[in-house]
Amino acid sequence: MKKFIITYKCGSQIVTSSEKENSFYSLDITDTAERFTVVLKPKKTFELVDFDVEMSYEFSEGDKFFCAGYQSWTLTKERTKNDIQKGTIKLANIHKKVKHIASMTCDERMVEYTGIPGEFHSHGYTYIRNGESMKLWGSLCEETGYTLFKVKMNDNRFIYHKDVLGKFVTEDYKVFDIVYFEGGYDEVFDKYFGMFKMPETRKGMMSGYTSWYNYFQNINEEIILRDLNGLDPVKEDVSIFQIDDGYETFVGDWLDPNPARFPNGMGYIADKIHEKGYKAGIWLAPFSCQKVSRTAKEHPEWLIKDENGKPLQGVLAWGGAYILDIYNEGARNYLKEVFDTVLNVWGYDMVKLDFLYSQCIYPRNGKCRGEIMRDAMLFLRELVGDKLLLGCGVPMSACFGLVDACRISCDVDLTYKGKIYNFLEVSPEILSAQSAINNSIFRRHLNGRVFMNDPDVFFLRNNNLKFTEEQKLLLAKINNLFGNVLFVSDDAGDYDEKQMDYLRKFFKKTDEKVIMAEYTDDENISIITELDGKQKEFSFNIKKGTVTKQ
């Protein structure tokens, strides 16, 4: 028996109703064993606040509920009834501004982290696994708003939730379109993702380099060309070379490369990359404008405003950044010029687009957050055309079918065991090698079905890094086994022959097939793979980065 709980605005009042029809709306419901759909038919224009469908579900001993994280960086894993799903650190509640900054990257604006064991939520799709038996629920209408699957395992409750806050209903509105499948792991995901239109590039792979994790923003032409040449010994195994943040004068001023750092311009760098036979990639945060940028200062009308009419901060990095509004014509035209220049004038083959979540922090223009994010991704896909689009910091369900590759983990960080922010558990998106490894494993079903999984980089270098040799090789093995975007962020010109041999090995995608991967306790993960008809087990301690069986 399903119970509907619909909250909406009636004038200045907020009304909650369980009715399937009243003077505001009627619901057209289809409810079968394999599909559940709800279309809201308005009788007048009104604004939605919340939409839940609650039901009972008998959880069994040994059930594991899959929590699909909100965006690329969000922790994603299977949970048992005794686990707790944590949001941002409670200390962030001391002030409204602090809370805003702490929760910019996450989903706490749309769902409560109760801190109660067994109470979890999952974005876009979920499954309940017991051994090898899988039950999968998945949304087919994320373009109308984010669908969340919520459970209270210890109370035997299951909830379909639609994030509809801010949605003005003027015409028929599809709230839910949820499919249900049972079977084995690969079987249910083949069925679910087979219902989407996906780019063919999702089945490919990329191997190569990105500049970020050795230099961060401190790059220049000399460094880039040196690292480009450093890959010559493994040239046959490299497909792409990507420039990350640091080439622009300020974030948001994309057409103003720093002349002191890149005196010959970014087209010159793309040409040098092409001379090596590689594709050229470049990083952008297309919706972000650094507070001190020329774009933010000269065009404040392009920026998303808060309730007080002030520019809304969407990123903590770079001293803070505002957000370009995709519904502003001037901002759209500017981004069209940026992408045309980067892709067609400078000649880059791939753009890595970062911090995309910022576009939908708040609902606006009569649209809920999920609708805004889908509009944003459609716009970016249009701008990129048939070049490669690597998404990052993006709400996952909003980019299904619209990106060629996608980050599926947080940043790996340069310290394996973590820093103070890891031990304080500041947020579910905080950078961490351990979280990156975790996400690579538990988002493996996306790889090749939805896009090329980008698990972030692996390292082989000896300097500017706090990893043991064992931890470096563990990260590289996990990336190779579970991802199809295999990047290093080292100057390979410093490698010895042993490191170069490792690079050759990990740039070539393994033929091993993953049969099972799961936590055996809080710290240890067991992975069963198959190659040439033979199965073997690989296990390790994720907290320590030590291999226990291989």
pTM, 2 dp: 0.98
- DSSP strand E in 408-470: where? 452-454
Which is nearest to 287 in space by CA: 300, 303, 307, 305?
A: 303
Tokens 């909003």 map to which residue? 398
Residues 252, 296 contacting (CB under 8 angstroms): yes
Instruction: Calculate the dihedral angle through the C-alpha atoms of 17, 18, 19, 22, rounding to the nearest 10 degrees.
Output: 10
Q: What is the pLDDT along the chain (550 residues), one digit of tens a residue?
A: 999 999 999 999 999 999 999 999 999 999 999 999 999 999 999 999 999 999 999 999 999 999 999 999 999 999 999 999 999 988 777 777 777 877 899 999 999 999 999 999 999 999 999 999 999 999 999 999 999 999 999 999 999 999 999 999 999 999 999 999 999 999 999 999 999 999 999 999 999 999 999 999 999 999 999 999 999 999 999 999 999 999 999 999 999 999 999 999 999 999 999 999 999 999 999 999 999 999 999 999 999 999 999 999 999 999 999 999 999 999 999 999 999 999 999 999 999 999 999 999 999 999 999 999 999 999 999 999 999 999 999 999 999 999 999 999 999 999 999 988 887 788 999 999 999 999 999 999 999 999 999 999 999 999 999 999 999 999 999 999 999 999 999 999 999 999 999 999 999 999 999 999 999 999 999 999 999 999 999 999 999 999 999 9
| Cα separation, 192 vs 181, whole angstroms | 8
Burial class (CB within 10 angstroms; exposed 0-12, middle 13-18, buried 19+) of 409:
buried
Residues 291, 326 contacting (CB under 8 angstroms): no
| Cα separation, 494 vs 460, whole angstroms | 10
- Phi, psi at residue 279, to the nearest 5°? -75, 150
Cα separations in angstroms, 186 against 139, 510, 514: 18, 18, 10
Which is nearest to 296 in space by CA: 263, 267, 271, 325?
A: 325
Which is nearest to 174 in space by CA: 141, 220, 136?
A: 141
Q: Which residues contact 336 (CB under 8 A, 6 or more apart)?
A: 383
| Cα separation, 442 vs 303, whole angstroms | 36
